[in-house]
């Protein structure tokens, strides 16, 4: 039955049709379907069958070693949390983290992130299991049930049913197209990104207003909303004195892609809903996430998280680590002075829990800058190179033409105290962390496809012609 449901879901997503009948445990929905450029259902089924056999073999080999995380507590006290986008990189780790700690979790996802891989010819470094097998295995080893619902949050009929059925105390919204390069592939992906992200968030806001007004929205934004201004970046708001008058206003936004701009629109829409409808909202402007291991995702091979290393979905540090592991020069874009906020995925899941445990007030939209350290691209390359050499790797660095339109040398000083004031204890980027990532990448290096490493999406060349076949591989 699981294979049949997943096959149907793959066909529905690939064709762009509504996936109303593809649901597990309840009628529900996730992020919008991907643009229907190719139909990968046959490839999808064969690939998933092969993957299922691989991960089940690994699971059987380690079954006796599996243990439920020992530091989990029951401080969730049955709080009902809906995680939209719970099959994704941050969403899956967060779902397990919360479930292990006593929260009642419902994952809502339409699996379009997996479909992006099939459309563009990408693949995760790690052999991830199907979401159905993941959830089943988690229940087996933890004794905790995660509800699973497959579909599209941009379809109000289904999302309204899902939201009403589960009646969450908090909804964590990861369910958006999350890649800046993906949004710049062509006109079609730009339109999809804006439609999927903005309309999906509006549906979430209406669900809270009309169906569960006391539900707390925890929304994943991005530090990229701010751009790189030549002044300090505050946490969401800035106090300005102009012509003798003073006011506190939302911090100016300068998104650097159609993806970042969709997040800007989300923030404005949430701010309006908080004022007009008294929605309680926490906007987490997250930095660049690195790492793959959390206490729960390493508890069993079937629970392992995805790890993207390609030029479309891979983040800087994760990409550099894989490049070092396979002997590919580290690809620094342009001058390499681009500086951003970074955080370990173990801190991402903790930040989500902190936001849920300390909800915003009715009518309040608060903003937390969710990162722990600031690094330039050159600094990350230097760290990976130094640690790689300790492991006997010959790590080289190459500067490639920057495919993005961005400042390559700039001032950057962002504030990030609010989450730490609420109890976040950061996992900083120590040498041991990089060593651990390198060892992980070396373990799976035979799965790396070298042609996916170099950036292939150029901001300046994004056009009206559908660019599916050329999007992932640089010429």
333 in Cβ contact with 400 (< 8 Å): yes
At how many degrees (to 10) do helices 131-142 and 2-15 cross? 140
Tokens of 235: 């946490």
Tokens of 169: 């105390």
- The span from the CA of 101 to the CA of 432, in Å, is 27
- The span from the CA of 405 to the CA of 180, in Å, is 11
- Residue 196 is classified by DSSP as I
C-alpha distances in angstroms, 309 versus 183, 313, 452? 17, 7, 8
- The span from the CA of 465 to the CA of 19, in Å, is 28
Q: Which of these, 357, 299, 292, lies nearest to 319 by C-alpha position?
A: 292
Helix, strand or coil, per DSSP, at residue 188: helix
For residue 4, the Cα-to-chain-centroid distance in whole angstroms is: 27
C-alpha distances in angstroms, 285 versus 98, 260, 416? 20, 11, 10
Write down the catalytic residue from 89, 182, 251, 259. 259
> Does the active-site annotation cover 339?
no
Give the list of residues 6+ apart from residue 442 with CB closer than 8 angstroms, or none: 325, 391
Write down the catalytic residue from 193, 201, 222, 228. 222
Burial class of residue 244 in the structure, from the number of CB atoms within 10 Å of its CB (0-12 exposed, 13-18 middle, 19+ buried): exposed
> Does the active-site annotation cover 222?
yes
Write down the catalytic residue from 219, 263, 418, 454. 263
- The span from the CA of 281 to the CA of 271, in Å, is 8
Checking phi first, is residue 167 left (phi over 0); if not, alpha (psi -120 to 50) or beta?
A: left
Task: Determine phi and psi for 367, rounding to 5 degrees.
Answer: -125, 125
C-alpha distances in angstroms, 134 versus 20, 106, 108, 140, 303? 22, 13, 14, 10, 6
Q: What is the dihedral of CA 219, 222, 225, 226, to 10 degrees?
A: 120
Helix, strand or coil, per DSSP, at residue 315: coil
- The span from the CA of 132 to the CA of 149, in Å, is 10
Alpha helices in 143-242 (DSSP H): 156-166, 180-183, 187-194, 200-211
> Does the active-site annotation cover 348?
no
Task: Kindly list the catalytic residues.
Answer: 222, 259, 263
């Amino acid at each position: 039955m699981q294979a049949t449901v997943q096959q149907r879901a793959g066909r529905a997503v690939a064709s762009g049709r509504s996936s109303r009948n593809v649901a597990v445990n309840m009628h529900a929905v996730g992020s919008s379907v991907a643009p229907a450029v190719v139909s990968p259902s046959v490839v999808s089924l064969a690939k998933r069958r092969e993957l299922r056999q691989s991960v089940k073999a690994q699971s059987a080999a380690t079954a006796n070693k599996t243990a439920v995380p020992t530091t989990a507590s029951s401080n969730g006290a049955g709080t009902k949390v809906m995680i939209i986008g719970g099959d994704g990189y941050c969403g899956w780790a967060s779902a397990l983290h919360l479930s292990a700690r006593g929260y009642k979790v419902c994952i809502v996802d339409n699996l379009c992130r997996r479909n992006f891989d099939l459309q563009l010819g990408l693949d995760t470094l790690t052999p991830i299991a199907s979401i159905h097998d993941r959830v089943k295995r988690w229940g087996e080893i933890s004794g905790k049930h995660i509800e699973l619902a497959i579909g599209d949050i941009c379809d109000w009929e289904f999302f309204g049913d899902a939201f009403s059925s589960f009646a969450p105390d908090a909804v964590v919204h990861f369910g958006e197209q999350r890649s800046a390069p993906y949004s710049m592939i062509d006109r079609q992906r730009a339109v999809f990104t804006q439609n999927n992200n903005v309309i999906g968030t509006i549906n979430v806001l209406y669900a809270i207003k009309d169906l569960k007004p006391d539900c707390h929205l925890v929304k994943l934004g991005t530090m990229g909303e701010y751009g790189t201004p030549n002044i300090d970046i505050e946490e969401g708001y800035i106090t300005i004195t102009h012509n003798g008058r003073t006011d506190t206003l939302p911090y100016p936004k300068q998104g650097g892609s159609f993806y970042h701009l969709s997040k800007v629109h989300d923030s404005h829409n949430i701010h309006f809903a908080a004022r007009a409808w008294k929605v309680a909202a926490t906007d987490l402007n997250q930095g660049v996430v690195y790492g793959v291991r959390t206490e729960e995702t390493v508890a069993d091979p079937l629970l392992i998280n995805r790890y993207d290393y390609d030029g479309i979905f891979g983040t800087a540090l994760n990409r550099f680590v894989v490049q070092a592991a396979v002997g590919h020069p580290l690809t620094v874009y342009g001058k390499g002075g681009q500086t951003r906020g970074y955080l370990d995925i173990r801190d991402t899941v903790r930040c989500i829990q902190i936001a849920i445990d300390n909800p915003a007030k009715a009518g309040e939209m608060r903003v937390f800058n969710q990162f722990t350290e600031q690094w330039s691209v050159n600094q990350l390359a230097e760290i990976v190179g130094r640690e790689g050499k300790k492991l006997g790797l010959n790590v080289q660095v190459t500067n490639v033409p920057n495919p993005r339109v961005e400042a390559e040398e700039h001032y950057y000083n962002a504030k990030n105290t609010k989450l730490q004031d609420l109890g976040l204890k950061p996992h900083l980027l120590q040498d041991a962390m990089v060593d651990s990532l390198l060892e992980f990448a070396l373990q799976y290096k035979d799965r790396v496809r070298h042609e996916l490493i170099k950036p292939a999406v150029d901001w300046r060349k994004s056009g009206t012609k559908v660019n599916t076949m050329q999007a992932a591989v640089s010429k």
